[in-house]
């Protein structure tokens, strides 16, 4: 039928795994923003939720790394990480291979997305689902943009991928929701974990919320690496969400929470 | 230098329960199929998290190997700092350290 919801959020494993170590005055409003996003998402009555993540070597490795991939399985499972470490219980997540196939066929008209009939979710998808679908009710279609193993897909292709997802969502009769998840600036899993470039994040979010495509695509990877760390490469997921939604963004929550290793973000986009 | 092989070993170890069990039981045999340098082999077997970091293992792979090895989060960050102190700057990859070796960016 159409795209009925579009948003972005953070997914860092510390958000759940190191919850008690965060400042409650920041953590609790962040969790509440996730809760509000959950309510808005479910109110949109999606038949399926596409989650576009920036996978971290749970399924894809440098032996055969797709720039873009979409899941096409009956079921998925996660988290692949130790459930006690991530503090998210293991679960099986319902997919819809027929819907996946129809979406992929349309996406591939313009973007050569790989497909995967096996996919184990890591924190990149499980942390968002923990907040956005705690009762495991939704049908999920996972997607991935390689933001980890350079060479990385250019930002303008991430935009094209978002456009393709929108076209695909509008082509199928089902109601499709889209959540894209990534960090903005961060240096995850390094000794610099906790470093966050707030000014850079705010500038990026401003460009993103205004739907300023040229400004959003203007970052070179060299600049992003310098100013926003290797985690900053994940802006590709935000770029894809903006391209898919076409409407202005609203940032419901942004705050740097160092023990979560990222400027924690919850934002939605108008579907235009 | 066979960072690709080293990363591949840790990638499989992170996701393959059988390999995890084999590694616990007979670590030398478990890593034998991977073409590692002596330094890399030593770093995995010890395990020397700091050296693995300096060798260039992507943090998204390394943090899970650290957890698998029973290394808690703050200790993981410290071991990487100690690794840079002992072995010098990160030699490859995109996970180099920017802060001072004694700086605790996350507060702990």
What pLDDT is stored for residue B15 in this prediction? 92
How many domains is chain B partitioned into structurally? Answer: 1
Domain containing residue B39: CATH number: 1.10.700.10
Note down pLDDT in tens along chain A; length 272 residues: 699 999 999 999 999 999 999 999 999 999 999 999 999 999 999 999 999 999 899 999 999 999 999 999 999 999 999 999 999 999 999 999 999 999 999 999 999 999 999 999 999 999 999 999 999 999 999 999 999 989 999 999 999 999 999 999 999 999 999 999 999 999 999 999 999 999 999 999 999 999 999 999 999 999 999 999 999 999 999 999 999 999 999 999 999 999 999 999 999 999 99
Q: Does the beta carbon of A265 lie under 8 angstroms from any beta carbon of chain B? A: no
What pLDDT is stored for residue B107 in this prediction? 64
Chain B CB contacts of A225 under 8 Å are 94
What pLDDT is stored for residue B1 in this prediction? 56
In a domain, B95, yes or no: no
Note which residues in 215-254 of chain A have CB less than 8 A from chain B: 225, 230
What pLDDT is stored for residue B106 in this prediction? 66
Q: Does the beta carbon of A87 lie under 8 angstroms from any beta carbon of chain B? A: no
Q: At what angle do helices A97-107 and A155-171 cross, to 10 degrees?
A: 130
Q: Does the beta carbon of B80 lie under 8 angstroms from any beta carbon of chain A? A: yes
Q: Do A195 and B99 touch (CB under 8 A)?
A: yes
In a domain, B66, yes or no: yes
Nearest beta carbon to residue A148 from set B58, B63, B81: B58
Q: Do A57 and B80 touch (CB under 8 A)?
A: no
In a domain, B93, yes or no: no
What pLDDT is stored for residue A60 in this prediction? 95
In a domain, B53, yes or no: yes
Residue B54 structural domain? 3-87
What pLDDT is stored for residue B99 in this prediction? 77
Chain B CB contacts of A190 under 8 Å are 53, 59, 80, 95-97
Domains of chain A are: 2-174 (3.40.830.10)
Chain B CB contacts of A85 under 8 Å are 67
Picking from A183, A190, A257 by the largest number of B CB atoms within 10 A of its own CB, the best residue to mutate is: A190
What pLDDT is stored for residue B87 in this prediction? 95
Nearest beta carbon to residue A192 from set B67, B68, B97: B97
In a domain, B103, yes or no: no
Q: For residue A192, give how far its alpha carbon lies from the nearest alpha carbon of chain B (Å).
A: 6
In a domain, B23, yes or no: yes
Low-confidence ranges of chain B (pLDDT < 50): none
In a domain, B44, yes or no: yes
What pLDDT is stored for residue B104 in this prediction? 73
Model ipTM value: 0.89
């Amino acid at each position: 039928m159409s795209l009925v919801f579009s948003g972005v959020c953070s997914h860092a494993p510390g958000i759940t795994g190191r919850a008690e170590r965060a400042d409650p005055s920041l953590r609790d409003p962040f969790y509440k923003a996730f809760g509000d996003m959950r309510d808005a998402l479910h109110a949109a009555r999606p038949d399926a939720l596409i989650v576009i993540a920036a996978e971290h070597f749970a399924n894809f490795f440098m032996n055969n790394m797709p720039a873009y991939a979409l899941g096409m399985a009956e079921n998925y499972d996660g988290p692949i990480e130790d459930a006690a470490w991530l503090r998210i219980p293991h679960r099986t997540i319902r997919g819809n291979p027929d819907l996946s196939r129809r979406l992929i066929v349309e996406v591939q008209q313009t973007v050569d997305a790989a497909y995967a009939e096996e996919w184990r979710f890591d924190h990149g998808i499980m942390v968002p689902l923990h907040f956005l679908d705690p009762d495991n009710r939704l049908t999920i279609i996972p997607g991935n943009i390689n933001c980890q193993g350079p060479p990385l897909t250019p930002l303008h292709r991430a935009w094209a991928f978002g456009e393709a997802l929108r076209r695909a969502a509008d082509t199928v009769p089902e109601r499709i929701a889209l959540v894209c998840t990534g960090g903005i600036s961060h240096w995850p899993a390094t000794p610099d974990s906790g470093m966050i470039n707030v000014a850079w994040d705010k500038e990026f979010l401003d460009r993103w919320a205004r739907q300023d495509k040229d400004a959003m695509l203007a970052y070179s990877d060299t600049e992003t690496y310098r100013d926003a760390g290797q985690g900053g490469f994940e802006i590709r997921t935000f770029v894809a969400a903006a391209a898919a939604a076409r409407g202005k963004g609203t940032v419901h929550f942004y705050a740097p929470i160092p023990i979560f290793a990222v400027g924690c973000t919850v934002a939605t986009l108008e579907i235009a | 230098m066979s960072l690709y092989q080293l990363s591949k070993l840790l990638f499989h170890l992170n996701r393959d329960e059988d390999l995890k069990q084999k590694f616990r039981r007979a670590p030398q045999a478990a890593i034998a199929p991977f073409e590692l340098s002596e330094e890399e082999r030593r770093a995995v077997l010890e395990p020397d998290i700091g050296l693995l970091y300096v060798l260039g293992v992507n943090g998204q792979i390394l943090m899970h190997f650290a957890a698998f090895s029973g290394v808690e989060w703050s200790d993981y960050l410290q071991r990487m700092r100690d690794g840079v102190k002992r072995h010098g700057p990160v030699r490859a990859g995109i996970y180099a350290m920017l802060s001072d070796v004694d700086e605790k960016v996350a507060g702990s």
